[in-house]
Amino acid sequence: MARPTVDPMSLEFNQIPLRRESSRYVRLGEAPSDAQLTATVLLKGDVPPSLVRVKHVTASRLMPIPMEDYDRPPHAPPYPHVELTGVIVGQSDGTTPLGIEKNDTVMIEVVVEPANLSLDQLSGTVLINGTGWDPISLPLTLTFGEVESRIGSEPLTIQQKGVRTATITA
């Protein structure tokens, strides 16, 4: 069985802020054959599966697109001008199989959106399966870089040269 080129060969999310979506992309080079493609994230440990997920799997195909000949002199006959351009031909959420054709390229968007998390590191695997292909398994590592701190809910008033104590929750 064959498989397309994969770039990058691993995904790293570093210093992920809380409550903000972060994305990384995996690009599959020219598909070696027609296939039904799925992609999923498997995380190690007891974490919610919605923390890291495949957001989009997008297939593109090089297609000849006719271009206008704007630089042609006024009385010169037109000449055919065609450019090969990548055109999106399909999209999926990763769980729904996406039909692709030989030589299509694929972009897989993996997102992480931590809400409240007590972890500072997490790991897992991005699994990509295409019918008739060797399975693709990419290591996934995440480090979280933001701690949310709160200083009590009551107002904190301090007189000049005074001292107060406050409770901080991180």
Q: Each residue of 11-68: pLDDT tens digit?
A: 998 888 777 888 999 999 999 999 999 999 999 888 777 789 999 999 999 998 877 7
Q: What is the distance between the alpha carbons of residues 51 and 81, in angstroms, rounded to a whole number? A: 47
**Residue 135 pLDDT grade (very low, low, confident, very high; cuts 50, 70, 90):** very high
Measured on CA atoms in the order 169, 145, 6, 125, is the torsion positive or negative? negative
| Cα atoms in the 13 Å half-sphere on the side-chain side of 134 | 9
DSSP labels, 36-77: EEEEEEEESSS--TTSEEEEEEEEEEEEEEE---TTS-TTSP
Q: What share of the chain has pLDDT > 70, as a percent?
A: 87
Closest CA to 21 of 118, 89, 110: 110
Residue 117 pLDDT grade (very low, low, confident, very high; cuts 50, 70, 90): low
Residue located via tokens 């297939």 = 59
CATH numbers and ranges of domains, the chain: 6-169 (2.60.40.10)
Tokens in use for 48? 């919610």
**What is the pTM assigned to this prediction?**
0.77
